[in-house]
Structure 1
Amino acid sequence: MNALIYLLQVSACTAIFYLFYYVLLRRLTFFTINRWYLLITVFLSFIIPALTIPVTPQQQHITVVKQAVYINTLQTLPDNVPDLNLVAAAKPMDWMQLLSVFYITAVAGLLIHLMITFIIFFRKLKGRQLTKIGSVNVLHSTEKLNNGSFFNYIFLNDQELSAEEVQQIIAHEILHVKLYHSADRLLVKIVQVILWFNPFVYFYAKSIEENHEFEVDCAMANSTDKKRYADLLLHLSVARQGMLYHSFSKIPLKKRIVMLFNQPSAKMKKVIYVLILPVVLISCLAFAKLKTDQPENKISTIGGIENLGKNPLIVIDGKVYPKDILYKISPGCIKGSTVISPNPTVIKLGKHVNDGYIEIKTKEGKITYITPFEKENLIKESMVPKNQFYSRLRLHDLERGGYIDKIIIHEKSSGVSANLGLNDKAGFLINNKLYSEQQVKTLPASVIEALSGENGVGPAGLDRFKEVDVKGYDLIFYWEPVKKSDSTMSRQELKPVIHQPRQTQLQHPNHNFEVTSLTYQASENIVSALNKDQHNSLISVGKNINVNTLKSEQARVYKYLAAMFPRIKLKDIGFNVDTTQQKGFCTIKTVVKPAV
């Protein structure tokens, strides 16, 4: 896509430069200057869009959230939901890819045509008798052939021509050879292949050919009689179009004769060429890349990297990658990720993680790169302030095409989010009271700060909402009050609501997977009682648990999980300890073994 935009910018530059020539320069008799103007501006048209101009902007007091925040959402479906036959939605047609294929096909076809033209041209030269005039080869022919030249070859059809006319034609074509006009034509042919869709390139080609002939005619007029030279032009005024080489009489005769007898332009008019400088400056400002000294606002696909150092160790599927991969990898290919803050005591792959550590596992063992739509979604999500309780965003639907909405809820230490249709209506069930989206926008800060208990989101038809009138709503966000029943729980912990889920999934940026583990904080005095040989967890809950023994923690976790995973047994819960936390704390990674 960037390449196509670049070519469009090049085309816009050629249009600006050619219009300047057409309006102000084409009637001037400074043919050599005009020739070089046309050639140089073709090069400038390709250079300007590729330029990067450093600028120092004024300071602006704008707060931008640089890091995308992903909220894990635990969703449950009741037993009475029937099995669905899921059919993969058709991906939207990628018009940019089709356009790129069409452009490349056209360029390839034109290049092949140009190469065939060259092959035919040089094959015709084989076996022909040539006459040498210095370094110039003259090909005499009695066949139907236009008088012309290409590099150091001159083609001469001397039938019905006097000796004087033949000498004038040869002198004319030798001037073309000496001035390297064929190199100009070849350059323009290549530009026409690259910018075949740009009409101004064809105007460029025509104007360059005209200036070639005007330049040579002017030189010939200084050494021969203008009237007799004009008569020769009339005599040889028929020529075929589209030839590779210069034809003696290809350019419209009227233009050449008018220019031949025109009074030379006053030298003062050369000042007009100075006006091209502001045109170049405007083109640079319009199409060159402006680069500020301020750091670029990059959006990371992985959340939680704000506290990492400059060069964190990043491992994807067992391979080490540079930090910029975090801004390039597609969220759709990520199966799970682990972020460890900088800690010199931690060693990963034989290295101390002084700047932090990130481990990413992909779905299919391969990396795909972020698309423009995915990047746009990330930017929109990153702009949501973390202290804003409710937000509803319009995002690209990456699976079906079109758009979807996403509601993001931020709390003090956690949050919840869900996707919904453009016309879907969301409700908010807080302490058994239902609020609309308009009402939740104006909730007092005291109500939001007092939120506690289990939070989540689910379809309005779930059994848990049967005691509330949820008619007209498609999705319900809920907060259940804490009912303290275990002496090992702190006041901040959540007691789960007991229900019988059919399936439990975690919604994580663009894909779902089963919950297999949770992470908790615990006191250091229970470290020795924990099993250190379990697998690392995938999901970090990060709750502060006020416990003193492994047994009470195991019972507490069992109560929490049994409500959502009815088949889980107490013996299915194992532990893994990460002792790399700050002194006095350790991380208990609760591993739930798959139910048989």
Structure 2
Amino acid sequence: MLDNKMMEWLIYLLKVTACTALFFGFYLLFLRKLTFFKINRFYLLGTLLLSFIIPVLQFEIMRETVVTEIQDSANVPELKSFNAIPVPLVQPVMLEYDRQAKPEINWPAIVYAVYVGIASLLLLIFLWRLLNLLKYTSNYTKNSKGLKLISKSVGFTNCSFFNYVFIDEHNISQPDIAVLLKHEEVHARQFHSADKMMLIIFKCILWFNPIVYLYDKALGQVHEYEADEMTSNAFGNQAYANLLLKLAISRSDMPLIHNFVKNPIKDRIKMLFHSKSKNMKKLMYLLVLPVVAGLFWLFAVQVVYANKLVGLKHEGLPVQDGKILFMGTNSVGSVSGEILPGKIYKTASALYKPRGVKSNKEVLTDTLKPKPVKPKIISYRKMKGDARNQIFYLENAVMEFMNSRLEAGYVEFDHINNKILARNASLKTLDEKNTIKSTLFTFDLNKGSYSVENGEGKTGGNIHDAERKKDLLINLNDKVDYVAKDSVKMSQDKLIVSLFGNAMLSYNGVKLSGSKIVYNKKDNRVLVNDAIMTSGDTKIKADSLIFDIKTKKTKLFGADFNH
């Protein structure tokens, strides 16, 4: 669970990075040279905030795909429900450790720890610099414009932080001080320092993203352009440019402040004499709307497809609100539902296939695919384990699943793939009325398959078919055995077995014998001549009979009665 949250956070940061790259690329291409400094400022701040917001939003759009003239297939498969009660898996305690199993490196956790460590360190540095700055703000004099003046001749000077102005009064003439204070007054009134603090926090969060540093530089330039423009309007472009060049030698690297000459002087002087952008060019800001819409569609919108059926021709399949409803029953209950988005069902020869679906041959029963069977470990005498692959080796183990108890001298339990291999084992019903012993049992509880091997051969089947009969052992015993004295012949496709001379066939407690037996595996029927049928204490003789293995119904001929 923790790994998933870490991965989600890292993926979120990558999405934020992608958004900042597109937004800043748009700024460089279309907006950087415009003289609408206030709009550029809010563009940079707004798109940076949007970059964090868009990946968090989640919207679903339902789309209906229309399917016309659908013909019902006559071979709609029988729906089978699965009512196995899931049992909790007892997590085994490692008694012995396999030294060959090496611990797996959790790379997401390492990356997350490095990210959090660097972000926390940068945040601490920011707080330390802020405290170091605030210690100079205790003593100040206030001027008529509301600025708090602090005389300072070393370190960071001729700069401002909110309405605190650090000024070197001894090395600057009074006329130049008036120009400088006008410049810093613009910074204070426009709350440019709040922008800088916000950018520092963003840089702590996205320290790995080079785009956020370009945002910081661009926003700093916009701040200075805005302050330069308003100051030069009051004192003139030429006089203001001369003061910039004069003070260019005193610079500071304090990131929280607005230094009068911190940003490139050449660019600021060029922008002073740059012709103002025409108001019509403000329409260029509307071009960002397709970028915003594209990022919303990419990161915040999920399209869900639903099939709408038109002109449906069906037999026995009810339709409601343009959706096929299905129902099915079997020996253990009934199931129902509706066609779901993203699935293909065998209801027509031609059917719409959404992108990503494997083929049109997927059938309706895929919707009702049984859940994997979960085993329960009851006890064991000794256990070894492969910690990396989660494979456990148990001696004298007892396990339960599907109303059955497995007792084995040795068990290999593959926890990840949900497979069990049991040697010298017995499988019993929980009431212990039925038991099967074998040298080897294998179970694939995800696929629902099993096999049993002993000295007489090997057999297997499907666990979920067994569950439909509510007893795994019934299914294990459901195999056809046959023998003949004279000969046994098979057809070329091996679907028809012919037994001659004192032939015998047995299935699930029913024994058939006769002079000739023909077993058709395709339709699960058995034809017996000179027949004797035995089931429990019942014994029937007839000239011939037909036994249906699937339904267990029998037709008798030449006896005292015909069925």
Structure 1 residue 2 corresponds to structure 2 residue 14: no
Shift of 1:141: 2.4
Structure 1 residue 120 corresponds to structure 2 residue 132: yes
Counterparts of residues 374-453 of structure 1 (less than 5 Å)? 385=366, 399-400=387-388
> Aligned residue for 1:263?
275
For residues 24-50 of structure 1, the C-alpha deviation after alignment (integer angstroms, 9 at most, x for no partner) is: 110111111101100111111111111
**CA–CA distance in 1 between the matches of 2:415 and 2:161?**
67
> Aligned residue for 2:357?
none
Shift of 1:287: 1.2
Alignment counterpart, residue 50 of structure 2, candidates 44, 48, 71: 44
The amino acid that maps onto 2:266 is K
Shift of 1:6: 1.1
**CA–CA distance in 2 between the matches of 1:267 and 1:212?**
20
> Aligned residue for 1:224?
235
Is the 8 Å Cα contact of residues 217 and 260 (structure 1) preserved in structure 2? yes
Structure 1 residue 174 corresponds to structure 2 residue 162: no
Shift of 1:67: 10
Structure 1 residue 92 corresponds to structure 2 residue 98: no
> Judging changes above 3 Å, is the alpha-carbon distance between structure 1 residues 57 and 479 closer, same or farther for their aligned structure 2 residues?
closer
Is the 8 Å Cα contact of residues 456 and 479 (structure 1) preserved in structure 2? no
> Aligned residue for 1:249?
261
Structure 1 residue 161 corresponds to structure 2 residue 172: yes
Alignment counterpart, residue 193 of structure 1, candidates 201, 204, 208: 204
Is the 8 Å Cα contact of residues 390 and 414 (structure 2) preserved in structure 1? no
Shift of 1:4: 1.4
Counterparts of residues 6-45 of structure 1 (less than 5 Å)? 6-45=12-51
> Judging changes above 3 Å, is the alpha-carbon distance between structure 1 residues 261 and 453 closer, same or farther for their aligned structure 2 residues?
same
Structure 1 residue 457 corresponds to structure 2 residue 442: yes
> Aligned residue for 1:512?
none
> Aligned residue for 1:208?
219
Shift of 1:129: 4.1
Counterparts of residues 168-567 of structure 1 (less than 5 Å)? 168-238=179-249, 239-290=251-302, 292=304, 385=366, 399-400=387-388, 456-457=441-442, 464=453, 478=460, 492=474, 494=476
**CA–CA distance in 1 between the matches of 2:473 and 2:239?**
109
Alignment counterpart, residue 154 of structure 2, candidates 139, 143, 148: 143
**CA–CA distance in 2 between the matches of 1:122 and 1:492?**
83
**CA–CA distance in 1 between the matches of 2:82 and 2:40?**
54
For residues 437-482 of structure 1, the C-alpha deviation after alignment (integer angstroms, 9 at most, x for no partner) is: xxxxxxxxxxxxxxx99994289xx9955677xxxxxxx87469xx
For residues 79-112 of structure 1, the C-alpha deviation after alignment (integer angstroms, 9 at most, x for no partner) is: xxxxx96527444221111111111111211111
Shift of 1:290: 2.2
**CA–CA distance in 2 between the matches of 1:170 and 1:255?**
21
For residues 489-522 of structure 1, the C-alpha deviation after alignment (integer angstroms, 9 at most, x for no partner) is: 999565599xxxxxxxxxxxxxxxxxxxxxxxxx
Shift of 1:146: 2.4
The amino acid that maps onto 1:284 is F
Question: For 2:142, what is the secondary structure of its paired residue?
Answer: strand
> Judging changes above 3 Å, is the alpha-carbon distance between structure 1 residues 33 and 494 closer, same or farther for their aligned structure 2 residues?
closer
> Judging changes above 3 Å, is the alpha-carbon distance between structure 1 residues 69 and 282 closer, same or farther for their aligned structure 2 residues?
farther
> Judging changes above 3 Å, is the alpha-carbon distance between structure 1 residues 180 and 479 closer, same or farther for their aligned structure 2 residues?
closer
Question: How does the TM-score come out when normalised to structure 1?
Answer: 0.49
Shift of 1:386: 9.0
Shift of 1:58: 2.1
Shift of 1:420: 11
The amino acid that maps onto 1:247 is N
Shift of 1:135: 2.6
> Judging changes above 3 Å, is the alpha-carbon distance between structure 1 residues 85 and 32 closer, same or farther for their aligned structure 2 residues?
closer
**CA–CA distance in 1 between the matches of 2:18 and 2:182?**
39
Question: For 2:136, what is the secondary structure of its paired residue?
Answer: helix
Shift of 1:144: 4.6
Structure 1 residue 131 corresponds to structure 2 residue 116: no
Bigger Rg, structure 1 or 2 = 2
> Aligned residue for 1:365?
none
> How many correspondences in the alignment?
342
For residues 231-268 of structure 1, the C-alpha deviation after alignment (integer angstroms, 9 at most, x for no partner) is: 10001113123431000000001100010100111221
Question: For 1:223, what is the secondary structure of its paired residue?
Answer: helix
Is the 8 Å Cα contact of residues 138 and 153 (structure 1) preserved in structure 2? yes
Shift of 1:124: 2.4
**CA–CA distance in 2 between the matches of 1:69 and 1:3?**
38
**CA–CA distance in 1 between the matches of 2:82 and 2:170?**
79
> Judging changes above 3 Å, is the alpha-carbon distance between structure 1 residues 387 and 288 closer, same or farther for their aligned structure 2 residues?
closer
Which structure shows the bigger proportion of residues in strand conformation?
2
**CA–CA distance in 2 between the matches of 1:54 and 1:387?**
25
**CA–CA distance in 2 between the matches of 1:66 and 1:6?**
41
> Judging changes above 3 Å, is the alpha-carbon distance between structure 1 residues 402 and 218 closer, same or farther for their aligned structure 2 residues?
farther
Displaced runs of 4+ in structure 1, greater than 6 A? 65-72, 386-389, 452-455
**CA–CA distance in 1 between the matches of 2:27 and 2:237?**
27
The amino acid that maps onto 2:296 is C
Is the 8 Å Cα contact of residues 418 and 457 (structure 1) preserved in structure 2? no
The amino acid that maps onto 1:56 is M
Is the 8 Å Cα contact of residues 150 and 245 (structure 1) preserved in structure 2? yes
Shift of 1:133: 3.2
Is the 8 Å Cα contact of residues 31 and 215 (structure 1) preserved in structure 2? yes
Is the 8 Å Cα contact of residues 457 and 477 (structure 1) preserved in structure 2? no
Question: How does the TM-score come out when normalised to structure 2?
Answer: 0.52
The amino acid that maps onto 2:61 is V
**CA–CA distance in 2 between the matches of 1:202 and 1:192?**
7
Alignment counterpart, residue 122 of structure 2, candidates 90, 107, 110: 110
Shift of 1:152: 1.2
